[in-house]
Amino acid sequence: MNLDFSKEALPLYVQLKTIIKNEILDGKYSYGDQIPSEMEYEKKYDVSRITVRRAISDLEKEGYVVRSRGKGTHVIYNHTIEERFSKIRSFTDEMRAVNLKPGTSYTSIQYETVPEDGARAFGIKEGEKLVCVCRVRTGNDQPIVYFKTFFSKNLNVPLDLDVYGESLYQWLNKQGINQPCRAVENFKAINASKEIADRLEIKENDALLVRTRYGYNKENEMIEYTIAYYRGDAYSFSVELNSQA
């Protein structure tokens, strides 16, 4: 499709925005794909850098793309990666269920003070430290969620980054510890701090959905306390409810 440069035509940035949007909607560019650079659009459609930037800026405001420093512009349309609550599963399994490639772009592990509600649930003293695994998990190489997972001290989990690259639950199962068989979860909305915004490659104060999980084993002992910070533009949850007679 070509741009219409006639006087009666819509502004060039509007036309270009429509072209890119339709390419996203038609599936030429899927969630996580990088679209052409500003320079490529300039050359292809013979327009100015200002025109291209305004078109992409509008697409970003409308939730179709996101610009990341040094990484170009990626599609976030179809960002409602929807999880239906039916069973406990790992982020890795969640991504595979929606045909996205799971990955990890950041990992750290250290002893860290457990938040007050987590300490109460673990039955430990306020201010006590436990092993905390922090990870940024990705879908098709795009940051989706920042996890902070605290493990019960009874598990004796190692301070070894290499074992926490992918699914934590897979690792637990391999160790014979087994992933939680019951979980209680709470949700709330917050604005991103600078630290979390930097991790997720979003802007400070952007919307986040915070999911707190209390995971229990078969003996009803809490083994996991996880705080998950999901990008508000990249994730949604749904719950199916049934009436009972």
Comparison of pLDDT for 136 and 242, the residue scoring more: 136
Structure confidence at residue 245 as a pLDDT band (50, 70, 90): very low
Question: How many residues does this entry show for the chain?
Answer: 245
Would you state the torsion angle of the CA atoms of residues 140, 144, 150, 152, taken in this order, to the nearest 10 degrees?
-50
Identify which of 237, 72, 93, 113 has the alpha carbon closest to the alpha carbon of residue 169: 93
**Residue 218 carries which DSSP code?**
T
Which residues have a Cβ under 8 Å from the Cβ of 110 and sit 6 or more positions away?
131, 132, 159
Average pLDDT over the chain, rounded to an integer: 84
Tens digit of each residue's pLDDT (9 = 90 or more) over 35-83? 999 999 999 999 999 999 999 999 988 878 888 877 889 987 754 555 5
Which residues have a Cβ under 8 Å from the Cβ of 166 and sit 6 or more positions away?
92, 102, 104
Whether the model clears a pTM of 0.75, i.e. scores above it, the answer is no
Identify which of 191, 195, 135 has the alpha carbon closest to the alpha carbon of residue 165: 135
| Per-residue CA distances from 68 to 24, 60, 74, 107, 197 (Å) | 18, 11, 8, 20, 11
